[in-house]
Amino acid sequence: MNEILELTINEMPRTEFDCSCGRRHNFSVQDMSIRKGAIEDLPKMAAPFKDGKILVVFDNNTYKVAGKKAVELLKENGFNIKELLFDTGDDILIPDETTLGRILQEQDLDCKLMIAVGSGVINDAVKFVTSRTKLPYIIVATAPSMDGYVADGAPIISQGYKYSPVAHLTYGLIGDTDILTTAPQDLIQAGFGDMVGKITAVADWDLAVKVIGEYRCDTCVELTNRAMDICFAKAEGLNHRDPESLGALLEALTLTGVAMALVNISRPASGAEHMLSHYWEMDYIARGLNPIHHGTQVGVATPVIARFFELMEDLLPEGTKELCPSPEEIRQLLAKGGAPSSPKEIGIDRELFRQSLLNGYNVRPRYSIMQFAKENGRLEEIAEQITREIYG
Protein backbone atom coordinates (compact mmCIF):
# COMPACT_ATOMS: atom_id res chain seq x y z
CA MET A 1 0.00 0.00 0.00
CA ASN A 2 1.15 3.55 -0.83
CA GLU A 3 4.29 2.07 -2.42
CA ILE A 4 4.99 5.23 -4.37
CA LEU A 5 6.13 6.96 -1.17
CA GLU A 6 9.14 4.61 -1.04
CA LEU A 7 10.38 5.53 -4.52
CA THR A 8 12.76 8.21 -5.74
CA ILE A 9 11.43 10.57 -8.39
CA ASN A 10 13.11 8.76 -11.31
CA GLU A 11 11.69 5.44 -10.09
CA MET A 12 8.08 6.65 -10.12
CA PRO A 13 7.14 6.10 -13.80
CA ARG A 14 4.84 3.12 -14.51
CA THR A 15 3.84 2.73 -10.87
CA GLU A 16 0.52 1.19 -9.91
CA PHE A 17 -0.58 0.65 -6.32
CA ASP A 18 -3.46 0.30 -3.89
CA CYS A 19 -3.75 3.44 -1.82
CA SER A 20 -4.91 4.04 1.74
CA CYS A 21 -7.55 6.40 0.27
CA GLY A 22 -9.36 3.33 -1.04
CA ARG A 23 -8.52 3.81 -4.69
CA ARG A 24 -6.02 2.11 -6.93
CA HIS A 25 -3.72 4.72 -8.49
CA ASN A 26 -1.35 4.53 -11.37
CA PHE A 27 1.26 6.92 -12.66
CA SER A 28 1.43 6.12 -16.34
CA VAL A 29 4.34 8.34 -17.39
CA GLN A 30 6.74 5.82 -18.96
CA ASP A 31 10.13 7.33 -18.28
CA MET A 32 11.69 10.22 -16.36
CA SER A 33 15.25 11.40 -16.02
CA ILE A 34 15.91 14.33 -13.71
CA ARG A 35 19.65 14.69 -13.20
CA LYS A 36 22.79 16.46 -14.39
CA GLY A 37 23.32 15.53 -18.05
CA ALA A 38 19.87 13.96 -18.45
CA ILE A 39 19.60 15.10 -22.09
CA GLU A 40 21.94 12.23 -22.98
CA ASP A 41 19.06 9.90 -22.10
CA LEU A 42 16.84 11.30 -24.88
CA PRO A 43 17.80 8.79 -27.64
CA LYS A 44 17.17 5.88 -25.28
CA MET A 45 13.83 7.36 -24.21
CA ALA A 46 12.74 7.94 -27.82
CA ALA A 47 14.01 4.54 -29.06
CA PRO A 48 10.57 2.86 -29.21
CA PHE A 49 9.55 5.41 -31.89
CA LYS A 50 12.56 5.07 -34.15
CA ASP A 51 10.58 3.51 -36.99
CA GLY A 52 8.63 6.73 -37.61
CA LYS A 53 9.18 10.46 -37.83
CA ILE A 54 9.68 12.61 -34.74
CA LEU A 55 8.52 16.24 -34.67
CA VAL A 56 10.75 18.34 -32.39
CA VAL A 57 9.16 21.64 -31.30
CA PHE A 58 11.03 24.64 -29.85
CA ASP A 59 11.28 28.43 -29.96
CA ASN A 60 14.39 30.57 -30.53
CA ASN A 61 15.43 30.46 -26.90
CA THR A 62 14.76 26.83 -26.17
CA TYR A 63 16.52 25.87 -29.42
CA LYS A 64 19.71 27.51 -28.19
CA VAL A 65 19.71 25.98 -24.71
CA ALA A 66 18.44 22.47 -25.44
CA GLY A 67 16.77 22.04 -28.84
CA LYS A 68 20.02 22.11 -30.79
CA LYS A 69 21.56 19.46 -28.57
CA ALA A 70 18.40 17.33 -28.70
CA VAL A 71 18.34 17.47 -32.50
CA GLU A 72 22.05 16.60 -32.72
CA LEU A 73 21.71 13.64 -30.37
CA LEU A 74 18.73 12.28 -32.28
CA LYS A 75 20.40 12.70 -35.68
CA GLU A 76 23.63 11.07 -34.46
CA ASN A 77 21.56 8.12 -33.36
CA GLY A 78 19.82 7.72 -36.70
CA PHE A 79 16.37 9.13 -35.89
CA ASN A 80 14.15 10.57 -38.63
CA ILE A 81 13.25 14.01 -37.34
CA LYS A 82 11.43 17.15 -38.42
CA GLU A 83 11.93 20.48 -36.66
CA LEU A 84 9.32 23.14 -35.85
CA LEU A 85 10.66 26.49 -34.70
CA PHE A 86 8.34 29.13 -33.25
CA ASP A 87 10.12 32.33 -34.16
CA THR A 88 8.52 34.56 -31.56
CA GLY A 89 11.09 37.34 -31.30
CA ASP A 90 10.39 39.32 -28.14
CA ASP A 91 6.80 38.16 -27.87
CA ILE A 92 5.64 35.45 -25.55
CA LEU A 93 4.21 32.41 -27.31
CA ILE A 94 0.48 32.08 -26.51
CA PRO A 95 -1.16 28.62 -26.52
CA ASP A 96 -4.03 29.76 -28.72
CA GLU A 97 -5.65 28.62 -31.99
CA THR A 98 -2.70 29.81 -34.08
CA THR A 99 -0.03 27.99 -32.08
CA LEU A 100 -2.04 24.77 -31.74
CA GLY A 101 -3.00 24.84 -35.42
CA ARG A 102 0.60 25.29 -36.48
CA ILE A 103 1.73 22.22 -34.55
CA LEU A 104 -1.11 20.20 -36.07
CA GLN A 105 -0.12 21.31 -39.58
CA GLU A 106 3.44 20.14 -39.04
CA GLN A 107 2.41 16.70 -37.85
CA ASP A 108 3.05 14.45 -40.86
CA LEU A 109 1.13 11.22 -41.35
CA ASP A 110 4.20 9.14 -40.50
CA CYS A 111 4.89 11.08 -37.27
CA LYS A 112 5.16 8.69 -34.30
CA LEU A 113 6.29 11.02 -31.52
CA MET A 114 6.59 14.71 -30.68
CA ILE A 115 9.30 16.18 -28.50
CA ALA A 116 8.51 19.50 -26.83
CA VAL A 117 11.61 21.48 -25.92
CA GLY A 118 10.57 24.21 -23.53
CA SER A 119 8.62 24.97 -20.42
CA GLY A 120 5.08 26.29 -20.04
CA VAL A 121 3.50 27.11 -23.37
CA ILE A 122 5.40 24.74 -25.67
CA ASN A 123 4.69 21.91 -23.25
CA ASP A 124 0.99 22.77 -23.00
CA ALA A 125 0.56 23.22 -26.75
CA VAL A 126 2.30 19.95 -27.70
CA LYS A 127 0.53 18.14 -24.87
CA PHE A 128 -2.87 19.34 -26.10
CA VAL A 129 -2.33 18.61 -29.80
CA THR A 130 -0.82 15.15 -29.22
CA SER A 131 -3.69 14.25 -26.89
CA ARG A 132 -6.14 14.95 -29.73
CA THR A 133 -4.08 13.27 -32.43
CA LYS A 134 -3.23 10.37 -30.08
CA LEU A 135 0.53 10.58 -30.36
CA PRO A 136 2.95 10.22 -27.45
CA TYR A 137 5.22 13.13 -26.57
CA ILE A 138 8.37 13.71 -24.56
CA ILE A 139 9.12 16.98 -22.80
CA VAL A 140 12.66 18.31 -22.52
CA ALA A 141 12.31 20.84 -19.70
CA THR A 142 14.21 24.08 -20.13
CA ALA A 143 13.03 25.85 -16.98
CA PRO A 144 11.68 24.76 -13.59
CA SER A 145 8.83 27.18 -14.19
CA MET A 146 5.61 25.31 -13.45
CA ASP A 147 4.19 21.98 -12.34
CA GLY A 148 2.53 20.93 -15.57
CA TYR A 149 5.27 18.68 -16.95
CA VAL A 150 3.67 15.47 -15.72
CA ALA A 151 0.10 16.71 -15.33
CA ASP A 152 -2.58 15.75 -17.82
CA GLY A 153 -4.28 19.14 -18.04
CA ALA A 154 -3.20 21.60 -20.73
CA PRO A 155 -4.02 25.25 -20.04
CA ILE A 156 -4.81 26.73 -23.46
CA ILE A 157 -6.64 29.73 -24.81
CA SER A 158 -9.73 29.66 -26.98
CA GLN A 159 -11.27 32.91 -28.25
CA GLY A 160 -9.41 34.77 -25.54
CA TYR A 161 -10.66 32.55 -22.75
CA LYS A 162 -8.22 30.47 -20.78
CA TYR A 163 -9.28 27.00 -19.71
CA SER A 164 -7.61 23.73 -18.84
CA PRO A 165 -9.04 20.81 -20.81
CA VAL A 166 -7.92 17.30 -19.99
CA ALA A 167 -5.18 16.33 -22.42
CA HIS A 168 -2.89 13.44 -21.52
CA LEU A 169 0.29 12.61 -19.68
CA THR A 170 3.69 12.86 -21.22
CA TYR A 171 5.44 9.68 -22.29
CA GLY A 172 8.71 10.91 -20.82
CA LEU A 173 10.36 13.83 -19.06
CA ILE A 174 13.96 14.97 -19.42
CA GLY A 175 15.02 17.38 -16.65
CA ASP A 176 18.69 18.17 -17.14
CA THR A 177 19.96 20.36 -14.29
CA ASP A 178 22.71 21.76 -16.56
CA ILE A 179 20.03 23.03 -18.95
CA LEU A 180 17.97 24.43 -16.05
CA THR A 181 20.87 26.71 -15.06
CA THR A 182 20.34 28.56 -18.35
CA ALA A 183 16.70 29.34 -17.49
CA PRO A 184 15.82 33.03 -17.22
CA GLN A 185 15.64 34.14 -13.59
CA ASP A 186 12.00 35.22 -13.96
CA LEU A 187 11.01 31.68 -14.95
CA ILE A 188 12.85 30.25 -11.95
CA GLN A 189 11.00 32.73 -9.72
CA ALA A 190 7.76 31.66 -11.37
CA GLY A 191 8.39 27.99 -10.64
CA PHE A 192 9.17 28.84 -7.07
CA GLY A 193 5.97 30.92 -6.81
CA ASP A 194 3.97 27.98 -8.14
CA MET A 195 5.53 25.78 -5.41
CA VAL A 196 4.73 28.33 -2.68
CA GLY A 197 1.11 28.21 -3.88
CA LYS A 198 0.91 24.57 -2.74
CA ILE A 199 0.72 25.87 0.84
CA THR A 200 -2.76 27.31 0.41
CA ALA A 201 -3.74 24.60 -2.09
CA VAL A 202 -3.30 21.96 0.61
CA ALA A 203 -5.18 24.09 3.16
CA ASP A 204 -8.02 24.63 0.68
CA TRP A 205 -8.30 20.90 0.06
CA ASP A 206 -8.55 20.29 3.79
CA LEU A 207 -11.32 22.89 4.00
CA ALA A 208 -13.24 21.25 1.14
CA VAL A 209 -12.94 17.83 2.82
CA LYS A 210 -14.30 19.17 6.09
CA VAL A 211 -17.00 21.51 4.76
CA ILE A 212 -18.42 19.73 1.73
CA GLY A 213 -17.07 16.20 2.23
CA GLU A 214 -14.79 16.23 -0.80
CA TYR A 215 -12.57 13.20 -1.47
CA ARG A 216 -8.92 13.46 -0.44
CA CYS A 217 -5.93 11.20 -0.95
CA ASP A 218 -3.41 11.46 1.89
CA THR A 219 -0.67 9.89 -0.23
CA CYS A 220 -1.01 12.82 -2.62
CA VAL A 221 -0.99 15.31 0.23
CA GLU A 222 2.20 13.67 1.47
CA LEU A 223 3.80 13.93 -1.98
CA THR A 224 2.91 17.63 -2.13
CA ASN A 225 4.25 18.21 1.39
CA ARG A 226 7.44 16.35 0.52
CA ALA A 227 7.79 18.49 -2.59
CA MET A 228 7.48 21.68 -0.54
CA ASP A 229 10.10 20.45 1.95
CA ILE A 230 12.59 19.56 -0.81
CA CYS A 231 12.16 22.90 -2.54
CA PHE A 232 11.87 25.31 0.39
CA ALA A 233 15.01 23.89 2.06
CA LYS A 234 17.08 25.00 -0.93
CA ALA A 235 15.18 28.18 -1.80
CA GLU A 236 18.09 30.53 -1.25
CA GLY A 237 20.26 28.86 -3.90
CA LEU A 238 17.72 29.80 -6.58
CA ASN A 239 19.00 33.37 -6.44
CA HIS A 240 22.40 32.30 -7.80
CA ARG A 241 21.19 29.42 -9.98
CA ASP A 242 22.71 26.76 -7.82
CA PRO A 243 22.17 23.58 -9.90
CA GLU A 244 21.19 21.64 -6.79
CA SER A 245 18.49 24.17 -5.90
CA LEU A 246 17.21 24.16 -9.48
CA GLY A 247 17.14 20.36 -9.50
CA ALA A 248 15.26 20.42 -6.18
CA LEU A 249 12.74 22.88 -7.62
CA LEU A 250 12.14 20.77 -10.73
CA GLU A 251 11.90 17.64 -8.61
CA ALA A 252 9.37 19.38 -6.34
CA LEU A 253 7.27 20.60 -9.26
CA THR A 254 7.38 17.13 -10.78
CA LEU A 255 6.37 15.51 -7.49
CA THR A 256 3.27 17.68 -7.28
CA GLY A 257 2.64 16.72 -10.90
CA VAL A 258 2.79 13.07 -9.86
CA ALA A 259 0.28 13.81 -7.09
CA MET A 260 -2.10 15.43 -9.60
CA ALA A 261 -1.69 12.55 -12.05
CA LEU A 262 -2.51 9.96 -9.38
CA VAL A 263 -5.91 11.51 -8.63
CA ASN A 264 -6.52 12.94 -12.11
CA ILE A 265 -7.33 16.37 -10.70
CA SER A 266 -5.18 19.40 -9.93
CA ARG A 267 -6.51 19.59 -6.35
CA PRO A 268 -3.18 18.57 -4.70
CA ALA A 269 -1.48 21.55 -6.34
CA SER A 270 -4.10 24.20 -6.95
CA GLY A 271 -6.53 26.11 -4.76
CA ALA A 272 -7.84 29.67 -4.43
CA GLU A 273 -4.38 31.15 -5.16
CA HIS A 274 -4.65 29.64 -8.66
CA MET A 275 -8.13 31.10 -9.14
CA LEU A 276 -6.79 34.62 -8.50
CA SER A 277 -3.96 33.96 -10.94
CA HIS A 278 -6.36 32.74 -13.65
CA TYR A 279 -8.62 35.74 -13.08
CA TRP A 280 -5.72 38.18 -13.55
CA GLU A 281 -4.41 36.33 -16.55
CA MET A 282 -7.76 36.36 -18.35
CA ASP A 283 -8.03 40.07 -17.74
CA TYR A 284 -4.55 40.64 -19.22
CA ILE A 285 -5.36 38.53 -22.28
CA ALA A 286 -8.69 40.34 -22.77
CA ARG A 287 -6.77 43.64 -22.80
CA GLY A 288 -4.19 42.29 -25.25
CA LEU A 289 -1.35 42.43 -22.73
CA ASN A 290 1.36 39.82 -22.30
CA PRO A 291 0.33 37.82 -19.24
CA ILE A 292 2.62 37.68 -16.23
CA HIS A 293 4.12 34.21 -15.67
CA HIS A 294 1.63 31.81 -14.14
CA GLY A 295 3.77 30.88 -11.13
CA THR A 296 4.71 34.48 -10.35
CA GLN A 297 1.02 35.33 -10.08
CA VAL A 298 0.35 32.23 -8.00
CA GLY A 299 3.20 33.19 -5.67
CA VAL A 300 1.92 36.69 -4.93
CA ALA A 301 -1.65 35.37 -4.60
CA THR A 302 -0.60 32.93 -1.87
CA PRO A 303 -0.14 35.41 1.04
CA VAL A 304 -3.46 36.99 -0.04
CA ILE A 305 -5.25 33.65 0.34
CA ALA A 306 -3.39 33.02 3.61
CA ARG A 307 -4.90 36.32 4.81
CA PHE A 308 -8.36 34.93 3.95
CA PHE A 309 -7.61 31.93 6.18
CA GLU A 310 -6.55 34.32 8.95
CA LEU A 311 -9.64 36.50 8.66
CA MET A 312 -11.97 33.47 8.54
CA GLU A 313 -10.21 31.76 11.43
CA ASP A 314 -13.19 31.97 13.82
CA LEU A 315 -15.35 29.93 11.42
CA LEU A 316 -12.80 27.42 10.10
CA PRO A 317 -13.20 23.73 10.93
CA GLU A 318 -10.79 22.34 13.49
CA GLY A 319 -7.25 21.81 12.24
CA THR A 320 -7.51 23.76 8.97
CA LYS A 321 -5.93 27.01 10.11
CA GLU A 322 -2.86 25.11 11.31
CA LEU A 323 -2.11 24.11 7.71
CA CYS A 324 -1.71 27.70 6.59
CA PRO A 325 1.21 29.85 7.81
CA SER A 326 0.73 33.59 8.24
CA PRO A 327 0.84 35.87 5.18
CA GLU A 328 4.04 37.39 6.55
CA GLU A 329 5.81 34.02 6.78
CA ILE A 330 4.80 33.26 3.20
CA ARG A 331 6.05 36.64 1.99
CA GLN A 332 9.39 35.96 3.68
CA LEU A 333 9.59 32.56 2.02
CA LEU A 334 8.91 34.13 -1.40
CA ALA A 335 11.61 36.72 -0.76
CA LYS A 336 14.08 34.00 0.25
CA GLY A 337 13.66 32.38 -3.17
CA GLY A 338 13.93 35.77 -4.90
CA ALA A 339 10.28 35.86 -6.00
CA PRO A 340 7.93 38.87 -5.84
CA SER A 341 5.55 38.72 -2.89
CA SER A 342 2.87 41.34 -3.58
CA PRO A 343 0.35 41.71 -6.42
CA LYS A 344 1.12 45.41 -6.44
CA GLU A 345 4.78 44.65 -7.11
CA ILE A 346 3.95 42.75 -10.33
CA GLY A 347 1.64 45.44 -11.66
CA ILE A 348 -1.83 44.11 -10.81
CA ASP A 349 -3.88 47.28 -10.41
CA ARG A 350 -6.13 47.99 -7.46
CA GLU A 351 -9.46 47.54 -9.21
CA LEU A 352 -8.50 44.29 -10.91
CA PHE A 353 -7.25 43.00 -7.58
CA ARG A 354 -10.48 43.95 -5.79
CA GLN A 355 -12.60 42.39 -8.52
CA SER A 356 -10.57 39.19 -8.42
CA LEU A 357 -11.20 38.81 -4.70
CA LEU A 358 -14.92 39.34 -5.21
CA ASN A 359 -15.34 37.10 -8.26
CA GLY A 360 -12.32 34.80 -8.33
CA TYR A 361 -14.17 31.98 -6.53
CA ASN A 362 -16.22 31.60 -9.72
CA VAL A 363 -13.29 30.98 -12.05
CA ARG A 364 -13.59 27.24 -11.67
CA PRO A 365 -16.05 25.01 -9.88
CA ARG A 366 -13.82 24.17 -6.94
CA TYR A 367 -14.52 24.73 -3.28
CA SER A 368 -12.08 27.19 -1.69
CA ILE A 369 -11.62 29.61 1.17
CA MET A 370 -13.11 32.34 -1.07
CA GLN A 371 -16.30 30.33 -1.55
CA PHE A 372 -16.33 29.65 2.17
CA ALA A 373 -16.13 33.41 2.86
CA LYS A 374 -18.91 34.02 0.33
CA GLU A 375 -21.20 31.41 1.91
CA ASN A 376 -20.64 32.95 5.31
CA GLY A 377 -21.47 36.45 4.09
CA ARG A 378 -17.95 37.77 4.63
CA LEU A 379 -16.52 37.94 1.10
CA GLU A 380 -17.23 41.63 0.40
CA GLU A 381 -15.88 42.80 3.74
CA ILE A 382 -12.71 40.71 3.44
CA ALA A 383 -12.13 41.78 -0.17
CA GLU A 384 -12.31 45.46 0.84
CA GLN A 385 -10.05 44.92 3.84
CA ILE A 386 -7.31 43.01 1.99
CA THR A 387 -7.41 45.48 -0.90
CA ARG A 388 -6.95 48.34 1.57
CA GLU A 389 -4.11 46.55 3.34
CA ILE A 390 -2.17 46.05 0.11
CA TYR A 391 -3.09 49.13 -1.96
CA GLY A 392 -3.86 51.66 0.78
Does 348 participate in binding Zn ion (rule CB under 5 A)? no
Among 20-28, 41-49, 177-185, 222-230, the segment contacting Zn ion (CB under 5 A): 20-28
Does 119 participate in binding Zn ion (rule CB under 5 A)? no
- Residue 73 or 209: the one with the smaller Cβ distance to Zn ion is 209
- Residue 219 or 387: the one with the smaller Cβ distance to Zn ion is 219
Among 4-12, 18-26, 151-159, 174-182, the segment contacting Zn ion (CB under 5 A): 18-26
DSSP string, 234-303: TGGGGGGT-HHHHHHHHHHHHHHHHHHHHHTSSGGG-SHHHHHHHHHHHHHHHTTPPPPPHHHHHHHHHH
Label each residue of 209-233 as H, E or C: HHHHCCCCCHHHHHHHHHHHHHHHH
Q: Please state the closest distance from residue 294 (CB atom) to Zn ion, in A.
A: 6
Site string for Zn ion, 218-247 (x = CB under 5 A): -x----------------------------
Does 194 participate in binding Zn ion (rule CB under 5 A)? yes
- Residue 69 or 198: the one with the smaller Cβ distance to Zn ion is 198
- Residue 164 or 219: the one with the smaller Cβ distance to Zn ion is 219
Does 200 participate in binding Zn ion (rule CB under 5 A)? no
From the number of C-beta atoms within 10 Å of its C-beta (0-12, 13-18, 19+), residue 67 rates as buried
Instruction: State the number of CA atoms in the 13 A half-sphere of 119 facing the CB.
Output: 26
Does 196 participate in binding Zn ion (rule CB under 5 A)? no
- Residue 120 or 327: the one with the smaller Cβ distance to Zn ion is 120
Among 7, 10, 15, 21, binds Zn ion (CB under 5 A): 21
**How many residues make contact with Zn ion (CB under 5 A)?**
5
Q: Over the range 345-356, which residues count as b (16 or more CB within 10 Å of their CB) and which as e?
A: ebebeeebbbbb
Among 19, 111, 265, 323, binds Zn ion (CB under 5 A): 19
> Residue 4 pairs with which residues in a beta bridge?
none
Q: Report the interhelical angle of 198-212 vs 272-286 (nearest 10°).
A: 120
Q: Please state the closest distance from residue 274 (CB atom) to Zn ion, in A.
A: 6
Query: Cα 67 vs. chain centroid, distance in angstroms?
Result: 21
From the number of C-beta atoms within 10 Å of its C-beta (0-12, 13-18, 19+), residue 229 rates as exposed
Q: One-letter amino acid identity for 211?
A: V
Site string for Zn ion, 201-220 (x = CB under 5 A): ----------------x-x-
Q: Report the interhelical angle of 198-212 vs 185-196 (nearest 10°).
A: 20
Q: Please state the closest distance from residue 224 (CB atom) to Zn ion, in A.
A: 12
Q: Please state the closest distance from residue 243 (CB atom) to Zn ion, in A.
A: 23
Closest listed residue to residue 293, CA positions, set 191, 179, 148, 170: 191
Binding residues for Zn ion, per CB under 5 A? 19, 21, 194, 217, 219
